[in-house]
Amino acid sequence: MDNVIERNKKILSREKTALLIIDIQERILAVMQNPEEVINNTLKLIKGFKVLNIPIFYTEQYPKGLGSTSLHLIKELEGLSPIQKMSFSCSGAGNFFTRLKDNNVSQVVIAGIESHVCVQQTALDLLANGFQVDVVADAISSRKEIDYKFAIDRMRENGVEISTAEAVLFELLNFCGTEEFKEISKIVK
């Protein structure tokens, strides 16, 4: 009889995961808490997800007023098109949730701004639609620290997994000693 070890079902699986970057736009980024940390950790996620060949999506909230996605991220997002939205939650971005399901995505990793508005509403709506949601605490932000802290607490209380960029990448990697491991190790340093 084989000793099969069960893994926790909440551990991210690259076959079921996608990265969602919410509204990291030039005009609003400047007034966020720790904007450099948000950019640096989001870049780590993008580069890591590309190494692991995992889908990446990104949104822009009312780009006419808030500008386009940060130039720091655009180069790494080359070849992808932003999902335009006017709603705070990505649930209002056309058929986005259906696109995720059609691509067999059941775990969504979120980076973006603002924590207490678009990130929180999207996370809660994804949960309501049967997705596991992992919010990357060091790749989200708000203008005020209190809004960030309460958003993290509320999301956690409602079943959102809270993690960090490095933890997410190593969770998806699963094993060391591979070429992917070497590339991810360089990215997180």
List, by residue number, the catalytic residues: 23, 85, 118
Which helix (H) or strand (E) is 160 found in, with range? Answer: none
Given a contact cutoff of 8 angstroms between Cβ atoms, the answer to whether 129 and 91 are in contact is: yes
Task: Report the phi/psi class of residue 105: left, alpha or beta, with left for phi > 0 and alpha for psi in -120 to 50.
Answer: beta
Beta bridge partners of 59: 22, 83
Give the CA distances from residue 96 to residues 34, 83, 86, 91, 126, in Å, rounded to whole numbers and listed in that order: 29, 8, 13, 7, 11
Given a contact cutoff of 8 angstroms between Cβ atoms, the answer to whether 17 and 45 are in contact is: no
Q: DSSP secondary-structure letter at 11?
A: S
